[in-house]
Structure 1
């Protein structure tokens, strides 16, 4: 297929481009700047919020919409400020006739919740980031329901790997280790989350986005809850770092659930059926 990836220079985007190329798709990588994008992809720098965008992108078979401003800053005004532009982009792609459209979602659509999240779990987002993504999901599914486009809302959870290029606790630990710090202030670490390596996530995103048998909300995740403390200690040990967490110095955020993870039933079915891409 000809597959467009928006936000292709982003933390996850670069890995998705790599995964698609390994699957032998023709990739159009779209972003404002080319930062580490696979040279086997065709790079385009254009305004995805402009009119007639489907034709400007070369009328692709599939689109993976990952572009999002201030994704690491959950309180940014950009989330709500740009929501209508993302809606217009998705509507333009659907109206243009794209066959497969995937949009990146987030566990922060759910808000405070304890347990396993499936496609029917109620949402009550408690951050501007979560509120904007939740609204875009509802609008996107409604648009797709009235069209011939297969829409996949790909809900991600906690991501690690390629830690020098993300903004997670793991990248901060790496930075502080290199600065020679002996310890770092941390939350209690008791909360349990669903962690996935960015390379595995990219494979899931690329595979889910180029099929149409399973659509709608798809959790891209491991399906396993692991405590933050265990994952941080594993990360430190694996990298042979000497730095240690100083637990309990920071409170958890009000929307951080004691234990939350994704139901991976749908993504497992997709990966099993398309196991030549795994």
Structure 2
């Protein structure tokens, strides 16, 4: 199976490429920055193409030639979830690219969505939960999903919409919680500023998430939305304390220093029955 991966050098992309290669897939990896790609451990094992998939002069037919599936991860501008460019630019640029790929003959498309499509709804969230996005990023992703579902009516193709929850691991945004904690530990800081930490979230290591995404790609008959998550509700404080134990570190947690974020509910996590059934997990 030959897979075209966009955003191949991003946080998720770099791990998905590795996971696909480990599963015996051929990979055509696409990213804008060739220099960044040269630093990837898999660069000699893939066909790398330096390209901006939003460029007006992009030859999509050439880019997708010989491809069995498109894994579309590229999405500029994260983690600024509230910026208007998500729907002012990314939404239509992504739609045009994916439509062009389908018109060029791609029959299977996996796109990474987001838990923010569910908006401010609390508790366990399943794929049957009606999306109610409340920030521009979630709105743009949900709208792209709707656009592509309508495109399917005109030009049939398999659409695998994988909603990502909270991922962590190598390559994560340096401003993310665990990356900031690791820096504080490395610098032997006496304390670490954070929220009260009682938020319940669904956390998943990037390696496991990439493995799930690669497995979904290899299920070409699956069409629809699927939560890519752990299915477990874990408090932010518990996650931080677990990392401290893993690293054998002692640091005072300055709980309540930051307010809870206003763009997400206090407690929500994924229902992962569909994922478990698809992948044959208990």
TM class, shorter-chain normalised?
Answer: over 0.9
Matching of residue 46 in structure 1 with residue 56 in structure 2: no
Deviation at 1:55, TM superposition (A): 2.8
The answer to whether the 8 Å contact 2:3/2:67 transfers is yes
The answer to whether the 8 Å contact 1:99/1:150 transfers is yes
Matching of residue 66 in structure 1 with residue 66 in structure 2: no
Name the counterpart of 1:18. Answer: 18
CA-atom RMSD, angstroms?
A: 1.9
CA distance in 1 between partners of 2:165 and 2:149 (Å): 20
Name the counterpart of 1:3. Answer: 3
Deviation at 1:165, TM superposition (A): 5.7
CA distance in 2 between partners of 1:127 and 1:91 (Å): 25
The answer to whether the 8 Å contact 1:54/1:60 transfers is no
Instruction: Map residues 78-89 of structure 1 onto 2, 5 A cutoff.
Output: 78-80=85-87, 81-89=89-97
Q: Report runs of 4+ in structure 1 exceeding 4 Å deviation.
A: 163-167
Name the counterpart of 1:136. Answer: 144
* Secondary structure of 1:170 counterpart: helix
Higher mean C-alpha deviation, range 93-102 or range 61-70: 93-102
* Secondary structure of 1:162 counterpart: coil
1:151/1:220 CA distance change after superposition, 3 Å: same
Instruction: Count residues with an aligned counterpart.
Output: 274
From 225, 233, 250, the equivalent of 1:217 is 225
Matching of residue 75 in structure 1 with residue 82 in structure 2: yes
Q: Deviations over 1:217-269 (max 9, x none)?
A: 11011111111111111012112223332111111112221221111112112
Deviation at 1:121, TM superposition (A): 1.1
CA distance in 2 between partners of 1:21 and 1:109 (Å): 30
CA distance in 2 between partners of 1:196 and 1:221 (Å): 6
Q: Which runs of 5+ in 2 are unaligned?
A: none
From 114, 128, 136, the equivalent of 2:122 is 114
Name the counterpart of 1:184. Answer: 192
Name the counterpart of 1:36. Answer: 40
The answer to whether the 8 Å contact 1:14/1:37 transfers is no
Taking structure 2 as the reference length, what is the TM-score of the superposition? Answer: 0.91
Higher mean C-alpha deviation, range 184-193 or range 208-217: 208-217
Taking structure 1 as the reference length, what is the TM-score of the superposition? Answer: 0.92
